[in-house]
Structure 1
């Protein structure tokens, strides 16, 4: 059998191999959604991705017989180091054929680079940050993944453990049918709306940049004590505004206000994976138009709710559960206006008991589990 070689991205050809690797690994997966090649190039380009303003990274591709068979990133996130562990190192973008030797070679390369950066531990996957695609899918392989959620093969988790890492935290994705109704939730939401001194309003798309900054201001406060939290930066917020503004509609998001102050939000995003799956990574010549047209004409078949939060000052108040119920109820009501296959809430930390309980109440068991791992350098 040919030996495994691992090379860093030092040429355009290897960048192409990096982008092709997931399609090679997922060749037999009917649910795999290849992400847009142009976007994937921009994600790893230091001049385009705001992640590199506070972090540094190296990417590696594994080859056997001249063919790419796996990939991994290694990165140092200075914001994570400042908040959690000054010697932390992360990995991400791990895709690998079902071969322990390939996986170990990739992790050896990642560990070597991280050690040279002063790291004493490796954890992930973060691709590149916890605020981007993160966690490794370890079950729920019978349905497509939602946008910005990891896609892995059933063997991948075992490869990570074979490389010397152990599970650290699990998160979950919950789904409801597009037209689902949850009467108990709607009753609670109606009671809260009628009895409390609060209002709920849609996103003001004519002030979209300001509204996104308000979302992130609440999020950075609401999530600040959670496992793995790293705040969104101004550069990441600007990138989010640029990406969402062309198609975002007012009814996709809601703010809850108390006496005029926004204290909570819920943000849904049309799931573009269903639109781009037939593109096979290509935007040209006409797929860019098909994508934009599908979003503007609301031809998508699913929603994902990736962001939701309540300011810390209100999280332990008697209204907290009611605010959550009100926001989720409004999101599901809006979803019933579209011909959707499903609405996904993801991800939910296994330690977030209130949200796990609410998600199970409205959706039943989770449909997918995502795992984070940690190990020594």
Structure 2
């Protein structure tokens, strides 16, 4: 982790917020959510993966970004954590003076929560930033946003979870919502599949050059590059979005291989040219939820057996998009229809779609029109750095 030389901030006699500097403090920063959220719907990620996420030698985010972690101590015990984050690629693309906070987890202790966010904000203000936005841990492409509705249900793979009290603590620190997002649950037996099939057939009649194909596992590297190009172009106008660097894309693609099901990766072509895609992954959280420690050992053998005997029954649609120049032609309907049918035939009875920005009226309308149900809601928040 990249640690600044900021001196510690004494808030009250019993509360101390200071930057992470020692190996013991780094371990405490990593370990906090495993203790804090045990027994909640939160699903513990593998500690191995979290260590890699925070390691500048293993995470290419640190080629252009920095992360300064802080811990809140009360009477010698860690009660909260936060990270102040800068993103050089974001600053190259946007000129709004924004920096970020993430990895924000704290006990139900408003004083500690506000002190942590104030410390991160003041640190970023000292670096010349005008706005603080989050949570991003550490970027838009990782676990992002604040859960604001749906606290009683476990998160899907790579989706955030936080207790309800955290929302009030964030608001008490002066942050306001600037973007809302939703995730949707789509159970095939509850969807209007006939209506969806008719809609997809109508779009195909209007555009006979359309062809939807599954990614070829034997040519996965080439297929991944096609998806990368579609992702960059389809999401280019998304608020706060930054395209992945070459190294970040390679890093993400390698990580996805561990859980990839090629049947859930589709590319839509129009007269031979890629114009849309969807990328979904089996919801590994169905398996990981049985390993609350997040440790590979002794939980690894149990997880492997469970994954083999009872593999995930749902998948999470990570990305679904079409190029801006072909939007409003109904291509999303074809993608959603194929997502449902191919997922059903592959043995997945349901999917989580999300998150989806609430401003994406075309996609939210299509999902709700055919029977998708909003399951959880999220927010991105922001405040002045001063």
TM bin, normalised by shorter chain, reads over 0.9
SS in 2 for 1:367: strand
1:333 aligned to 335, 341, 353, which one? 341
**Equivalent residue, structure 2, for 1:74:** 84
> Which consecutive residues of structure 2, in runs of 5 or more, have no partner in the other structure?
1-11
1:314 aligned to 292, 313, 326, which one? 326
Over 3 Å counting, the alpha-carbon distance change for 1:290 and 1:199 in structure 2 is farther
Q: Displacement of 1:250 after TM fit?
A: 2.2
Determine whether 1:362 maps to 2:373.
no
1:38 aligned to 41, 48, 69, which one? 48
> Which consecutive residues of structure 1, in runs of 5 or more, have no partner in the other structure?
none
Over 3 Å counting, the alpha-carbon distance change for 1:305 and 1:227 in structure 2 is same
**How do 1:163-182 residues align onto structure 2 when only pairs under 5 Å count?**
163-177=173-187, 179-182=189-192
Q: Displacement of 1:359 after TM fit?
A: 1.8
How far apart are the structure 2 equivalents of 1:38 and 1:341?
30
**Equivalent residue, structure 2, for 1:22:** 33
Q: Displacement of 1:242 after TM fit?
A: 1.1
**Equivalent residue, structure 1, for 2:3:** none
1:186 aligned to 189, 194, 197, which one? 197
Determine whether 1:113 maps to 2:139.
no
User: TM (normalized to structure 1)?
Assistant: 0.93
**Equivalent residue, structure 1, for 2:134:** 124
Over 3 Å counting, the alpha-carbon distance change for 1:180 and 1:296 in structure 2 is farther
Does the CA-based 8 Å contact 1:173-1:345 persist in structure 2? yes
Question: RMSD across aligned C-alpha pairs, in angstroms?
Answer: 2.1
How far apart are the structure 2 equivalents of 1:2 and 1:299?
50
Over 3 Å counting, the alpha-carbon distance change for 1:350 and 1:162 in structure 2 is same
Does the CA-based 8 Å contact 2:144-2:159 persist in structure 1? yes
User: TM (normalized to structure 2)?
Assistant: 0.90
Determine whether 1:344 maps to 2:344.
no
Over 3 Å counting, the alpha-carbon distance change for 1:289 and 1:260 in structure 2 is farther
What are the superposed Cα offsets for residues 281-305 of structure 1, whole Å, 9 maximum, x if unpaired?
4443364455566667771122100
Over 3 Å counting, the alpha-carbon distance change for 1:337 and 1:2 in structure 2 is farther
How far apart are the structure 2 equivalents of 1:201 and 1:170?
32
1:149 aligned to 143, 155, 159, which one? 159
How far apart are the structure 1 equivalents of 2:286 and 2:166?
24
Does the CA-based 8 Å contact 2:214-2:266 persist in structure 1? yes
Does the CA-based 8 Å contact 1:208-1:245 persist in structure 2? no
How far apart are the structure 1 equivalents of 2:347 and 2:164?
31
Q: Displacement of 1:265 after TM fit?
A: 0.2
**Equivalent residue, structure 2, for 1:94:** 104
What are the superposed Cα offsets for residues 295-351 of structure 1, whole Å, 9 maximum, x if unpaired?
6777112210011111122124xxx31x11111111111221355463111011111
1:48 aligned to 58, 70, 92, which one? 58
Does the CA-based 8 Å contact 1:177-1:340 persist in structure 2? no
**Equivalent residue, structure 2, for 1:216:** 228
**Equivalent residue, structure 1, for 2:382:** 374
Q: Displacement of 1:194 after TM fit?
A: 4.7
Does the CA-based 8 Å contact 1:178-1:336 persist in structure 2? yes
How far apart are the structure 1 equivalents of 2:172 and 2:140?
23
